[in-house]
Amino acid sequence: MRKLEEVLNDWEAVIGLEVHAELTTLRTKMFCGCKLEFGAEPNTHTCPVCLGLPGALPVPNRAAIEGIVLAGLATNCDIEKHSMFYRKNYMYPDMAKNFQTTQGPVAFCMRGWLDLDVDGPAARERHGLDALEPGQAEGNVTRTEEGYTAHVGITRIHMEEDAGKMVHVGGGEGRIAGATHSLVDYNRAGTPLIELVTEPDLRTPEEARLFMQKLRQIYLALGISNCSMEEGSLRCDGNVSLRRRGSSALGVKTELKNMNSFKNLHDGLAYEICRQAEVLEEGGQIYQETRHWDPTAKRTIVMRVKETADDYRLFPEPDLAPYDLSDEFVEAVRAKLPELPDQKAARYATEHGLSAYDARHLVDHRATADFFDACMALAAAEGDGSRFAKPLANLIINDVTAYMNAHEGFDLAESPLTPERAMELVRLVASDAVSSKQAKEVFAAVLAEDKSPEAIVAERGMEQVSDTGAIEAVVDEVMAANPDKVEQYRGGKTGLLGFFVGQCMKAMRGQGNPKVINELLAAKLDA
């Protein structure tokens, strides 16, 4: 099987996503008063409505409607004033009533869009990007200095109820294949679930991954879901087809079901693109089917032939009246919109002079953005304004984010690294009290020992020596001890400067200011 980069030279991937998010911050289910609680004892939060018992009547959750309207406003959707619920009929044990209550052709939120900023390694998957100059556009892509911006359309965001959870016992990795029996927990059945459907505007697995990450940032900022992919409150189906470059006809698509991590979404789509290309190049046929991504085997597996809308026998829900949203309701919801990630990034660039790259990566996590805001509030209170914005951003993007990624469950807001300590560390580096290399050691010690940076520097004798006279004496000693290297340097081997710096740092037990050492060495060696 060919590599993705090779395949995308000959084939264009057409990708659309269906992103499902449970409204986990609500107290009760979509159409009944049962409690929402992840991890509760199985089948302890059920009632006649969510079990579909005869005569039970559903009542819509107003807070859930507010949540989906918030999501629509935050993703530039038109809010439809008139819509209704339908019955989506299917027989499977995860829904006791044998149908799912969902929305029909007209959803609460229609015709939206998001812009994706793609840069660095992520931009390399996009074919033909090098042919564009910064500012030049082609299709839904506009070239930027760092990469490109992709405009992604959103078809709709509709409201529905989640199904129960199936637990397969005796099979490998909890899958139905090979299981001896299956259990069902209906606690999740009836949970408010919003599904966002994109236009087929995505062209690379990286774009799909970035879209889902951005949507997660937005939902977290809105406070409508905890977006836990591990718990299943945020999951994604990816639809992908191939067509020859230059062709406008759509190919036959396959669906990758329930991608539960950003990496799985990327890797599953990448594999499926390569698999489809291999089948087509060998004269085979792609079938419209639902496939499962197996991250262990690193391949997709057929689950079932894809259903069509006719298979679900959709018809209006007779127990729910059509829904009419007033202008007053929509505007009241709009007033609750918080500062969204893109707005926050733009503010960081305008108020603090950060680059678009730094600002965007600060808002990757709500925790890091909140932490940066808290630090900058301290700086402003102490009259420093934005002087420390760039070094603080570097600390958060490079060190804090790396620590968060390496330590699952790490809570920055409750950690020993308080905004006061972060600013203290940044000031120590700015005043040359410690080097940037030493700062990383201090950062790790703050988290491990729950002490202030100044206390750690004092205890370990780490304070950097910047005294010119003391450093000059060491430089003279090192040059006198290595006359052959001095001669080689002056003979053109200027790369030896690193050797001299290393010897000086060794002589000063790592406490010499590298900047001052470099300046004095260069002046004396070039004299």
Average confidence (pLDDT) over 275-296:
94
Higher pLDDT, 383 or 50: 50
349/438 same-domain check: yes
Helix, coil or strand: residue 54: coil
Give which of 168, 239, 230, 193 is closest to 71, Cα–Cα: 193
The CATH number linked to 472 is 1.10.10.410
281/349 same-domain check: no
Give the contacts of 145 (CB within 8 A, at least 6 positions apart): 134
Give the contacts of 301 (CB within 8 A, at least 6 positions apart): 291, 292, 294
297/383 same-domain check: no
Question: What is the tens place of the pLDDT at every residue in 409-429?
Answer: 899 999 999 999 999 999 998
Average confidence (pLDDT) over 454-462:
86
Distance between CA atoms of residues 446 and 61, nearest Å: 46
Distance between CA atoms of residues 20 and 321, nearest Å: 24
Is residue 466 over pLDDT 90? no
481/445 same-domain check: no
226/357 same-domain check: no
Confidence (pTM):
0.85
Average confidence (pLDDT) over 184-211:
97
In the chain, % of residues over pLDDT 70: 97
Which residues, listed in sequence order, are joined to residue 244 by a DSSP beta bridge?
11
Give the contacts of 403 (CB within 8 A, at least 6 positions apart): 410, 447
181/308 same-domain check: yes
352/323 same-domain check: no
Give which of 500, 90, 21 is closest to 310, Cα–Cα: 90
Distance between CA atoms of residues 69 and 107, nearest Å: 10
Question: What is the tens place of the pLDDT at every residue in 384-417?
Answer: 878 999 999 999 999 999 999 899 889 999 999 9
Domain limits at 499? 468-525
Whether the CB-CB separation of 242 and 13 falls below 8 Å is answered with yes
* DSSP summary character for residue 28: B
391/437 same-domain check: yes
Give the contacts of 375 (CB within 8 A, at least 6 positions apart): 388, 392, 419, 422, 423
354/388 same-domain check: yes
Q: Final residue of a domain: which of 459, 485, 505? A: 459
Torsion sign over Cα 6, 7, 12, 15: negative
Higher pLDDT, 307 or 326: 326
Question: What is the tens place of the pLDDT at every residue in 336-371?
Answer: 999 999 999 999 999 999 998 899 999 988 899 999
Q: Quick one: pLDDT at residue 469?
A: 83
Q: Quick one: pLDDT at residue 9?
A: 94
496/356 same-domain check: no
Query: How many structural domains does the chain have?
Result: 3
Q: Quick one: pLDDT at residue 344?
A: 96
Q: Quick one: pLDDT at residue 310?
A: 67
112/242 same-domain check: yes
Give which of 360, 339, 293 is closest to 122, Cα–Cα: 360
Residue 502 has, within 13 A of its CA and on its CB side, a CA count of 6
In degrees and rounded to multiples of 5, residue 251 shows phi and psi of -85, 180
120/79 same-domain check: yes
- With bands split at pLDDT 50, 70 and 90, how would you rate the model's confidence at 306? low
Is residue 269 over pLDDT 70? yes
